[in-house]
Amino acid sequence: MTISLEQLQQRFDDLNPREKLMTVAAVIVLLWALWDNLINQSLQSTQTGLKTEITTLENNLLNQQQLIQQLADSNDPQKSKQQKLSALQASISNMQTQLGAGEKKFVPPQFMSNALRDMLKQQGNLKLIALETLPASPFGDLAQPDQQTIWVYKHAMKLTVQGDFFSTVAYLKSLENLPWLIHWDSIDYQVKAYPQAETRIQVYTLSFEKDLLGA
């Protein structure tokens, strides 16, 4: 037997206050379980893999640069030194190409804001509350204060939307389906008045440049 939304609403209205509270609590727990299964676990897995890949490339680049400096300071014969330098520079060029190929998969920083807004327009049940641009920062495990060479910058934005659970999930899935990559840094989903919730999403793209995101 199929039960309409109106019938479900009527049944909910017929509950006493304590039963309503228990029902809402159960729904929130269910939504959180769905959220963790559909969104959060995928987010953590993607983040870990991406950071590992980029950090490995950055480490290799730094090692190659250090070898070049050591070779330049060494007493090797000029011809031998030049051959080794050429090999190291070719290796660095190859790794930079790999980083460049990865960068092209991400939405250009200046287009991030428009991409987020355009996809939001396709979700009629979501309302944009706020959109904030964050300063660019080094990306990866090598983003330390003593790090002199920064290869990849992280450009992030904080997005706050209001709407129901399934519209929010649909929006996040639509971002995943873009031809360019937009990654989630964090997601804070808070039910305000069921079924309406406020979701704060921090997303980011990657670039070799430190320029600010498009507003």
Q: Rounded to whole angstroms, how far apart are CA atoms 155 and 117?
A: 17
Q: Rounded to whole angstroms, how far apart are CA atoms 75 and 78?
A: 8
pLDDT beneath 70: ranges in the chain: 1-10, 12-13, 19-21, 23-51, 53-55, 57-61, 64-65, 68, 70-105, 140-151, 211-215
Looking at residue 179, what is its pLDDT?
Answer: 73
Looking at residue 127, what is its pLDDT?
Answer: 92
Q: Rounded to whole angstroms, how far apart are CA atoms 140 and 16?
A: 52
Looking at residue 41, what is its pLDDT?
Answer: 61
Q: What is the pLDDT of residues 2-55, one digit of tens each?
A: 555 466 556 766 777 776 667 666 666 666 666 566 555 665 666 666 667 666
Please list, residue by residue across 141-162, b when 16 or more beta carbons sit within 10 angstroms of its beta carbon and e when fewer do: ebbeeeeeebbbbbbbbbbebb
The overall pTM is greater than 0.75? no
8-state DSSP, 110: G
| Kind and range of the H or E run holding 129 | strand 127-133
Looking at residue 110, what is its pLDDT?
Answer: 80
Is there a contact between 79 and 122 (Cβ–Cβ < 8 Å)? no
Q: Rounded to whole angstroms, how far apart are CA atoms 23 and 151?
A: 51
Residue type (1 letter), 119: M
Looking at residue 108, what is its pLDDT?
Answer: 76
Structural domains of the chain ordered from first start: 5-52+105-207 (3.30.70.60)
Looking at residue 153, what is its pLDDT?
Answer: 81
Looking at residue 129, what is its pLDDT?
Answer: 94
Strand 153-163 with 196-207, pairing: antiparallel
Q: Which residues contact 206 (CB under 8 A, 6 or more apart)?
A: 54, 102, 103, 106, 139, 152, 153, 154, 155
Q: Which residue has the tokens 């979701």?
A: 199
Q: Is 74 helix (H, G, I), strand (E, B) or coil?
A: coil
Looking at residue 90, what is its pLDDT?
Answer: 65
Nearest to 111 by CA among 30, 6, 1, 215: 215
Looking at residue 35, what is its pLDDT?
Answer: 59
